Amino acid sequence: MLIIGCLMALPRLLLGQGQVLPAFEMSSSLCDARIISIWLPDGYPRPGVKYAVLYMHDGQNLFDTATAYGHKEWQVDETLTALSKEDRIVPCIVVGIWNTPKRFREYAPARPFSMMLAEAQKETENAALYGGQPLSDAYLRFIVEELKPWVDTHFEVDRSPKSTFIAGSSMGGLISLYALCEYPQVFGGAACISTHWPLRLSKNSPAFTNAMIEYLKPRISGLQGHKIYFDYGTETLDALYETHQVRIDSLFRAEGFPESSFRSQKFEGAAHNEASWAERFHIPALFLLGKKENQE
């Protein structure tokens, strides 16, 4: 049975920027317990309004410098508030899913991983940051079978795929794409920001990208009608990604995905960190949540 743990902090009320609810720990029958943070926009709830939901990984980095990695947050609440005031996005809430010490295993897509050569699998499993096989299938089941039903019950949200999105950076980009592929009936779109295609930090290998391409081939046509966003920078870890991303992009373009549902962007000079992602978060936010006349 799903259990909601104790509250961790007082609500963070920001003048004109909505409200970050008290963070709480949510236990699971499928994976390790983890902390959840939820942002509600100004004026929530509004009579007759059903809100879109954006689920985001690495939730501790989204709203608060006190909990964010390197004390640099994504400024998700500030960005969405600004876009909302300009009437550029649909009404939405954000569910931030904090990571755990098993982050790499929970964010590594299991099915593509199993399609790599045995040697590449073993090398990754033995890497210090992994320490075992992927746990992503259980993590996604937690989101779909436990977290989303709880959100759907407790908030005024549109439960349909057209209003349910998922996003993350680095390994969070990989798990967001995997979530869309595994649960296209749940998620209507994914933003994969600075997607960490090499899977390892010490080796820029094409092994996982090769496997992901084979995984995507029979599934990609089923993603028509969904929104898919990719991006990458050119500095620090992001400098590794272009050759991988170009191969992934070619699959989607070969399937004829229109500009309205597929986007892949390169940001010159952007690094692999929260400050860079905060600076451009408005772009994937508009792509997923934007009103048609205001999408970039």
Which domains, from first to last, does the chain contain?
4-294 (3.40.50.1820)
In whole angstroms, what is the distance from residue 192 CA to residue 22 CA?
27
* pLDDT digits 0-9 by tens, 55-110: 999 999 999 999 999 889 999 999 999 999 999 999 999 999 999 999 999 999 99
Question: What's the whole-model pTM score?
Answer: 0.94
Q: Does residue 115 register a pLDDT over 70?
A: yes
Q: Which of 85, 40, 44, 45 is nearest to 63 (CA)?
A: 40
pLDDT confidence of residue 296: 53
Mean pLDDT of 149-178: 98
Residue 156 pLDDT exceeds 60: yes
Say if residue 45's pLDDT is above 90.
Answer: yes
**pLDDT higher than 80, residue 10:** no
Helix (H) or strand (E) segment spanning residue 12: strand 12-13
Res 3: pLDDT: 47
Residue that is written with structure tokens 């259980």 in the block: 138
Q: Using an 8 Å Cβ cutoff, are 105 and 132 in contact?
A: yes
Using the predicted structure, report yes or no on whether residue 271 has a pLDDT greater than 90.
yes
DSSP code for 146: I
pLDDT on residue 294? 55
Q: What pLDDT, in 10s, does the model give residues 183-193?
A: 999 999 999 99
Helices (H) and strands (E) in the chain, counts: 11, 11
User: What average pLDDT score do residues 11-36 get?
Assistant: 84
Of all residues in the chain, the percent with pLDDT exceeding 70 is 93
Query: Minimum mean pLDDT among 5-14, 121-130, 206-215: which range?
Result: 5-14
DSSP string, 154-169: HS-B--SGGGEEEEEE
Question: Any idea what the Cα angle at residue 79 is, between residues 75 and 80, rounded to 5°?
Answer: 120
**In the prediction, which pLDDT does 201 show?**
80
Supply the pLDDT for residue 2.
52
pLDDT at 11 over 90: no
With 0-12 / 13-18 / 19 or more C-beta atoms within 10 angstroms meaning exposed / middle / buried, residue 217 is exposed
Lowest mean pLDDT among 15-19, 101-105, 118-122, 168-172: 15-19
5 pLDDT tier (thresholds 50, 70, 90): low
Band of residue 128 on the pLDDT scale cut at 50, 70, 90: confident
Choice among 10-24, 110-124, 173-187, 276-290 with the minimum mean pLDDT? 10-24
